[in-house]
Structure 1
Amino acid sequence: MEIVVDQIGDRAATYEDFTKVLPETDCRFAVYDFDYMTPEEVPKSKIYYIFWSPDTAKVRSKMLYASSNQKFKTGLNGIQIEMQATDASEISLDAIQERIKDRAH
């Protein structure tokens, strides 16, 4: 399997812009650099790796992406938080922020 960069987002794009481009019926590997403020008002950033595998994707696509996931992920440097999602609620802004809180404890 050949991995091809589908899209590179603009640095000024929002998290909502990022999630809108994930296809509803196909899988993707996605990386997002999430900027946020700590409760102490310190700017921070976390790099997320998201394995997007929606329930509506074809079985063949899900299998192909699942079998390639570990190898692809191993080639990435700097990933701090990994997530797998089957629908948009699992990678909502609230879900992303919750993962940051979980990692802080």
Structure 2
Amino acid sequence: MASGVSVDPGVMEAFNDMKLNKNTLYVLFKLSKDNKQIVVEESHKKPPNMDYSEKAVTDIWNKFVAVLPSDMCRYAVYDLGYTLSEGGRRDKLLFVTWCPDVGPVKDKMVYASSKDALKKVLIGISSEVQANDVGDLEFNIIKDRLSRKTCS
């Protein structure tokens, strides 16, 4: 079901900067106040000399999860870099749909029906996660899903 919501050009600019320059850790998107456009809410740069150890990556991921509003929906793209148990490193652009169970029903419906409009312009996304509470965003669960390529 399409909602008629459009995507602000700033969304593409932020995403392309993230994808091409590799200096952005995540971009958070939201619906405008009139619910007519998806806009950039904030973007967060990667720390200089980013550490890809398990602990560092988990800590940074947990800081991202803490930024998500507890009672409002959001979309995000996260540049997830992590180390495999065999020692190799992976980088994935992860699309996150955050619709907390306690959020307003109308907002959840608009976000659900507008997601495809956003995904169409975000070319290069590796995986997608739908999260309804912080338990859905535990780092080890996300990493395991990415490793098996079964994110949903």
Q: Which amino acid aligns with 1:25?
A: D
Q: Are 1:53 and 2:88 an aligned pair? A: no
Cα distance in 1 for partners of 2:40, 2:147 equals 30
- Equivalent pairs counted in the alignment come to 104
Structure 1 ranges of 4+ moved more than 2 A: none
2:56: which partner in 1?
A: none
TM, length-normalised to structure 1 = 0.91
Cα distance in 2 for partners of 1:72, 1:21 equals 20
Identity of aligned residues (%): 35
- Once the two structures are TM-superposed, the CA of residue 35 in structure 1 deviates from its matched residue by 0.6
- Once the two structures are TM-superposed, the CA of residue 103 in structure 1 deviates from its matched residue by 2.1
Higher strand share: 2
Contact 1:36 1:44 in 2 (8 A): yes
- Once the two structures are TM-superposed, the CA of residue 30 in structure 1 deviates from its matched residue by 0.7
Structure 1, unaligned runs of 5 or more: none
Q: Are 1:90 and 2:125 an aligned pair? A: no
Superposed counterparts of 1:74-89, under 5 Å: 74-89=120-135
Deviation string, structure 1 residues 43-101 (Cα, Å, up to 9, x no partner)? 22011101100001101111111110111111101110111010001111112111122
Contact 1:34 1:45 in 2 (8 A): yes
Say which one has the larger Rg.
2
- Once the two structures are TM-superposed, the CA of residue 7 in structure 1 deviates from its matched residue by 1.2
